[in-house]
Amino acid sequence: AHLDRIDAVDPVVHAFLHVGADEALEAARKVDADRAAGTEASALAGVPLALKDVFATSDMPTTVGSKMLEGWRPPYEATVTRKLREAGVVVLGKTNMDEFAMGSSTENSAYGPTRNPWDTTRIPGGSGGGSSASLAAFQAPLAIGTDTGGSIRQPGAVTGTVGVKPTYGGVSRYGLVAFSSSLDQGGPCARTVLDAALLHEVIGGRDPMDSTSIDAPVPPVVDAARHGANGDLNGVRIGVVREFAGEGYQPGVERSFQAAVRQLTDLGAEVVEVSCPNFDYALGAYYLIAPSEASSNLARFDAMRYGLRVGDDGSRSAEQVMSLTREAGFGAEVKRRIMLGTYALSSGYYDAYYGSAQKVRTLITRDFAAAFEQVDVLVSPTTPTTAFPIGERVDDPMAMYLNDLCTIPSNLAGNAAMSVPCGLSDEDGLPVGLQIMAPATADDRLYRVGAAYE
Ligand code: GLN
């Protein structure tokens, strides 16, 4: 049924870069056989899933939305992919994304934009727009994204779906094509908080193949979602971050958020205002740190080891082939990030840019620590605006970067954060997201509050 639905709507939505129909049907048949034999792999066995095209899959291409890796078939599987298969989850295909996960609208994909199922003239968010759009268009009930600065939560918000960025290190990065290694985090996308929790438990946990993976059990997210579903938030302390208020927000988003805060209070939570003064600098710090790490990570696309190779006709030096390949293989935003990052890391500028950004990162982590002494979770709108029209911000990188205002602090601190649907804006009728933020390793708090609110 999901493959039929993809056939019917994906010509318009374009959530998928690759659909592995045969592989999916084969995986589903295996689950049927296991079920008949009484050896069902997990609670999610047989459930279809859309996988962001940033995770290595040995039976499907992995392009990261880039011409650089067009048609590349990895010789190995990401840990997330392997865990999904072991749990009997049926991978339907690979979803569209901004090239190398750099963007907030999926317009930076080398394979054309994804459209928001709520209004197909609008963006579905990014970088994981394909994953969230596939949920909103009922092409898949579950999806996987990655969140470096908001790429799970922001698409979740603008498509009216749930997206979770687990604590940094909570889900293995092995086999995840690297953008900014100290920020990248895979996580679950779904239409309900409980579905996201079930998926989180499948993909989470310690992985010896990822040196930054946390050596601790997955937080009890499914129990927390079930507990939260009773709708009782008595005794839960919730903070509203003062610095996130006001400027730059659409009034409709602001009103939806205020209604959410009233609802949380009605459910028994104690809501207070808290101050995180350094959050004002988070966006600036992120757009130095992420490009710096990207400039280093993307050096591996040298025309020799992976994917594209241009101009290798025997007449050119290796350096010329590298240069021609990178010129042809990377899109404009990726080149912009490589240049920004190389500049920020260069001798003479390193201390002023990269060094300062790292200090700001520490201050933001301290702001969170102080806030979490007063409250259990923090809340904010996930994004300042609802889905904007395709094309509106493509020529204005600053306007694009401003989407990430509220999501970035949790990436810089390595905390857990979630976006849950927060109704429709009374301005344009489009979905709004409520962001919930919890301390590192306390992901279960997101699920309790999210399930109670939803
Ligand atoms: N929009 C942010 C960026 O362009 C976040 C991307 C992400 O989380 N992968 O960097």
Quick one: pLDDT at residue 399? 86
**Atom in ligand 1 nearest the alpha carbon of residue 150:** 8
Cα separation, 276 vs 368, whole angstroms: 7
Q: How confident is the model at residue 297 (pLDDT cuts 50, 70, 90)?
A: very high
Decide: 419 in ligand 1 pocket, CB within 6 A. Answer: no
Q: How far is the CA of 404 from the centre of ligand 1 (A)?
A: 8
Which amino acid makes up residue 396?
Answer: D
Decide: 184 in ligand 1 pocket, CB within 6 A. Answer: no
Quick one: pLDDT at residue 199? 98
Quick one: pLDDT at residue 246? 67
**Atom in ligand 1 nearest the alpha carbon of residue 102:** 4
Is pLDDT of 306 > 90? no
Which protein residue has the closest C-alpha to ligand 1 atom 10?
Answer: 102
Candidate from 96, 97, 104 with most ligand 1 atoms within 8 A of CB, to mutate = 104
Q: CB 125: neighbour CB atoms within 10 A? A: 37
What residues are labeled active site?
Answer: 52, 127, 151
pLDDT tens string 59-116: 999 999 999 999 899 999 999 999 999 999 999 999 999 999 999 999 999 999 999 9
Is pLDDT of 245 > 80? no
Q: How far is the CA of 313 from the centre of ligand 1 (A)?
A: 37
**Atom in ligand 1 nearest the alpha carbon of residue 183:** 8
| Rama region for 90: left / alpha / beta (φ>0; ψ in -120 to 50; rest) | beta
Nearest to 91 by CA among 43, 128, 57: 57
Contacts 24+ apart (CB under 8 A), 255-263: 255/425, 255/426, 256/381, 256/422, 256/423, 256/424, 256/425, 256/426, 256/432, 256/434, 257/380, 257/381, 257/422, 257/432, 257/434, 259/422, 259/423, 260/379, 260/422, 260/423, 260/434, 260/453, 261/379, 263/453
**Atom in ligand 1 nearest the alpha carbon of residue 104:** 1
**Atom in ligand 1 nearest the alpha carbon of residue 101:** 9
Q: How many residues does the chain have?
A: 454
Cα-to-chain-centroid distance, residue 301: 23
Domain boundaries, the chain: 2-225
Decide: 150 in ligand 1 pocket, CB within 6 A. Answer: yes
Q: How far apart are the first and last CA of the chain?
A: 27
Nearest to 295 by CA among 237, 358, 238, 354: 354
Is pLDDT of 293 > 80? yes
Q: How far is the CA of 152 from the centre of ligand 1 (A)?
A: 9
Which protein residue has the closest C-alpha to ligand 1 atom 5?
Answer: 149
Cα-to-chain-centroid distance, residue 66: 17
pLDDT tens string 158-193: 999 999 999 999 999 999 999 999 999 999 999 999
Decide: 127 in ligand 1 pocket, CB within 6 A. Answer: yes
User: Stretch 115-126: mean pLDDT, rounded?
Assistant: 98
Q: How far is the CA of 28 from the centre of ligand 1 (A)?
A: 33
Lowest mean pLDDT among 49-53, 231-235, 243-247, 370-374: 243-247
Cα separation, 144 vs 128, whole angstroms: 9
Quick one: pLDDT at residue 190? 98
Average pLDDT of every residue of the chain: 97
Percent of the chain with pLDDT over 90: 95
Q: Which CATH superfamily is domain 2-225 in?
A: Amidase signature (AS) domain (3.90.1300.10)
Is pLDDT of 40 > 90? no
Decide: 410 in ligand 1 pocket, CB within 6 A. Answer: no
Candidate from 106, 404, 408 with most ligand 1 atoms within 8 A of CB, to mutate = 404
Quick one: pLDDT at residue 389? 97
Q: How far is the CA of 242 from the centre of ligand 1 (A)?
A: 24
User: Stretch 203-229: mean pLDDT, rounded?
Assistant: 97
Decide: 103 in ligand 1 pocket, CB within 6 A. Answer: yes
Lowest mean pLDDT among 196-200, 300-304, 436-440: 300-304
Cα separation, 303 vs 79, whole angstroms: 26
Q: Is the model's pTM score more than 0.95?
A: yes
Question: To which H or E segment does residue 272 belong?
Answer: strand 270-274
User: What single string gives the DSSP state of each residue in 283-308?
Assistant: HHHHHHHHHHHHHHHGGG-SSSSSS-
Which residues, 6+ apart, have CB-to-CB distance to 364 below 8 Å? 276, 278, 279, 281, 282, 285, 409, 412, 413
Percent of the chain with pLDDT over 70: 100
Query: Do the bridges between strand 431-438 and strand 377-381 make them parallel or antiparallel, or are there none, so unpaired?
Result: antiparallel
Decide: 101 in ligand 1 pocket, CB within 6 A. Answer: yes
Establish whether this prediction's ipTM goes over 0.95: yes
3-state secondary structure of 187: strand
